[in-house]
Amino acid sequence: MDIIADLGTLAFASRLKRLSDFGMQSTLDVYKFYNVDFEPRFFPLFYYLSQKGEASIMELAENLNVSHPAIIQIAKDLEKKGLIISKKSTDDARKRNLKISKKGKSLLTILQKIWAEIRALNDDIIESREHNIMIAIKEIEDVWTEKSYLERFKEFHKIV
């Protein structure tokens, strides 16, 4: 019995969370398989820095569509591991800029190979399904970007 699945659309967000948790754990298992001390939750921030070189907390939050506190927490964890460094912005001393450290750049070479393998497997899994979940996710994200869930809820139920 799978109550979450049985609840259908009522448990939509719970079902996505469960799928996300499974994906995160699976990716963590791959990192462990390669003896790489890296967590899936680090990926978006670390990847962004690998592409941009340096970024402020605000830039990361805006471009990753994640809260400032979440970015700060992930950045602290990456700094503790020595994978990124933080420095004051040359433009504004109140702001911090993040960039990948020498240790992080060394790990990045390994991570890029692992990410290519993960992408290949994910492509194989997703593209061999009847429905492409990436397209469906984008459609739902677009709906919620256009108008919030709460706004839609009020309109749907004619609540003022």
* Per-residue pLDDT of the chain in tens (160 residues, 90 and over written 9): 999 999 999 999 999 999 999 999 999 999 999 999 999 999 999 999 999 999 999 999 999 999 999 999 999 999 999 999 998 877 777 788 999 999 999 999 999 999 999 999 999 999 999 999 999 999 999 999 999 999 999 999 999 7
Domains of the chain by range and CATH? 3-156 (1.10.10.10)
Alpha helices in the chain (DSSP H): 3-6, 12-33, 43-52, 57-64, 68-80, 102-127, 133-146, 149-156
| pTM beyond 0.95, yes or no | no
CA triple 90-51-138, angle to 5 deg: 120
**φ and ψ at residue 108, rounded to 5 degrees:** -55, -40
Element (H, E) at 87: strand 84-88
